[in-house]
Amino acid sequence: MSEAKNPWWHTATIYQVYPRSFSDSNGDGIGDLPGIIHRLDYLADLGVSAIWLSPIFKSPMDDNGYDISDYREVAPEFGTLADFDHLVAEAKARGIGIILDLVVNHSSDEHPWFLDACTGRDSRYRDFYIWRDAAPGGGVPNDIPSIFGGSAWSFHESTGQYYFHQFTRRQPDLNWENPELRAQVYEMMNWWLDRGIAGFRMDVIDLIGKEPDRGITAEGPYLHRYLQEMHDKTYGGRDVLTVGEAWSATPSSALLYSGRDRNELSMVFQFEHVTQAWDPEHGKWRPRDFDLVALKKVLGKWQLALADDGWNSLFWGNHDLPRAVSKYGDISGYHTESAKMLATVLHLLKGTPYVYQGEEIGMTNVPFTTIEQYKDVETLNMHRLHLEAGLSPDDFIAGANANGRDNARTPMQWTDAEHAGFTTGIPWIEVNPNFRHINVDASLSDSSSILNHYRALIQLRKQHPVIVYGRYQSYLDQDPQFFIYTRTLGDQRLLVIANFSAKEGTLELPEELHLAGQCISYNYRPFERLGATLQLKPYEAFAVLGAKR
Ligand code: GLC
Ligand code: CA
């Protein structure tokens, strides 16, 4: 494989910014685009190649911007179009691309298309949305639930029909069967691409091919046709990264999205490693105990399935998920060690790693104690529904503490000053009280910080093709404490060993892994020569690069 032909995002690490919570430049308590520009040197120093910005568009902010009312305007609380162009230019000057969040499964109910569609059944935009009559005996057309609770159908009084919304009632689903709607979306995408962006992250893209009448929401029959059309009419032929959020993706459907000859996406965000830890009935609100064997099985399955075609995304967290170190590590006894271990394991897999803001300094879940502290529309809806169904308020808060989306949305912790240096005003959501010791300033001045570990891993990917292209193989799959895998390219072999536990442990290494080489990453001490038996410390992780035996 000649490397010149490989896309830039093979060696890239992407950083996700949640604009509302990243950096506030004007003291209104809300992060904004000038605030991001102000932090670009920090991100350049970390070594990331692109920033995925959660939505920055005009929006009533019912779902913090995932409800867009104007696809070509920047939300005034985030800045202006001029600020955006400035951000693109300043980022580009530092070798960083800007990836926008494309939210086109649905719009806001304040989008002019929807407002017009509500004026009457003969509106020119009526068919941009999904309208149905009541069921024969009255009531909702069918029993499809909204992902945020309740029915996916809401009644519109004045026109006498129901409209379809897979999220809140303020996020009406767009009707992708309408060619005029699709043309408008493509035109809008080209308008942003022409401004010099580096790609799109596509919100719940697996839902656009829906067929509500048949009860089909995810991966509908026309999904891939739409994505191929989108590719051909917009980014096909441009050097950009496209990543589709696809909760329903399986290893085989991932190949349909990201396969070499498919002309669809660069990769998808697949969530099997996330959902395998959820309760089959109550989902994320009733998390299961951590199970390393199950996690390894899922990650390994995806590594093997996309080994020769397609491409993996690699991530522990995002703005919808709990903080990685709280979920998979140990924030009381081994905060630094476990955060570094998690980074090592993820960043040395095959795929493109994504770092969610604050992960690189080991930010943790937030210990809110009352529902008033939560801001997320999903958490607030679910609170109401779960309490109505008989759950105790304390049990609900416990579930939200573990898996609620606001864990990821508290302000970025820059300094140990008031409000963590995020704002000079009052932040829109409370800062995590641990900002006094978990913050960027402290991390920058400590050579053994989590931040410096991330920086080193991001560089390693740029230096070693074995990290980018090496073949994955796992070992001791049934072991509940250790995660062990190799990556092999030509006669080079990278061996990664991690202890996923607060307990020390003795590891009996298979003979073919008795490797000698250079230890390119570690969180306690460098191992260079590996014999039959290893004693590992709590959350110890390291990687040795040597010759294949
Ligand atoms: C995606 C986003 C999430 C949003 C939802 C609806 O899952 O990541 O934040 O609420 O789509 O747009
Ligand atoms: Ca602001």
- Regarding the beta carbon of 330 and ligand 1, being less than 6 Å apart is answered no
Ligand 1: nearest atom to the Cα of 67: 12
Residues of the chain scoring pLDDT < 50? 1-4
Task: Find out whether the beta carbon of 204 lies less than 6 Å from any atom of ligand 1.
Answer: yes
* SS3 readout for 314-372: ECCCCCCCCCHHHHHCCCCCCHHHHHHHHHHHHHCCCCEEEEECCHHHCCCCCCCCCHH
Is residue 488 within 8 Å of 468, Cβ to Cβ? no
68 Cβ closer than 6 Å to some ligand 1 atom: no
Alpha carbon separation from 412 to 86, 350, 415, 429 (Å, rounded) = 22, 28, 9, 11
Tell me if 540 sits within 8 A of 341, measured CB to CB: yes
Question: Could you confirm whether 337 is annotated as catalytic?
Answer: no
CA of 59 to the centre of ligand 1 (A): 14
Give the model's pLDDT for residue 355.
99
The predicted structure's pLDDT at residue 200: 99
**Phi, psi (degrees; rounded to nearest 5) at 182:** -60, -40
Asked whether the beta carbons of 63 and 110 are under 8 A apart, the reply is: no
Residue with tokens 């719940």: 204
Which of 203, 219, 272, 337 is an active site residue? 203
Res 113: pLDDT? 98
Is 203 annotated as catalytic? yes
C-alpha of residue 84 to centroid of ligand 2, in Å? 14
In Å, the largest CA–CA distance within the chain is: 76
Go through 369-390 and write b for each residue having 16 or more CB atoms within 10 A of its CB, e for each that does not.
Answer: eeeeebbbbbbbbbbeebeeee
Angle, helices 377-388 vs 393-403, to 10°: value is 150
For 352-385, how does the pLDDT look when each residue is reduced to its tens digit (9 = 90+)?
999 999 999 999 999 999 999 999 999 999 999 9
Distance CA 298, CA 500 (A): 16
Ligand 1 atom showing the smallest separation from residue 103 Cα: 12
> If DSSP codes are grouped into helix, strand and coil, which group holds residue 501?
coil
Nearest partner of 457 among 542, 338, 330, judged by Cα: 542
Q: Which of 77, 89, 99 is nearest to 13 (CA)?
A: 99
The number of beta carbons lying within 10 Å of the beta carbon of residue 505 is: 16
Torsion angle of the four alpha carbons 228, 230, 233, 239, in this order, in degrees rounded to the nearest 10: -90
- pTM for the model stands at 0.97
Return the pLDDT at 285.
Answer: 83
- Confidence (pLDDT) at 2: 40
Q: Which ligand is nearest to the CA of 108?
A: 1
- Reading the block at residue 483, the tokens are 């995660």
483 in helix, strand or coil? Answer: strand
397-406 pLDDT, tens digit each = 999 999 999 9
The per-residue pLDDT for 1 is 40
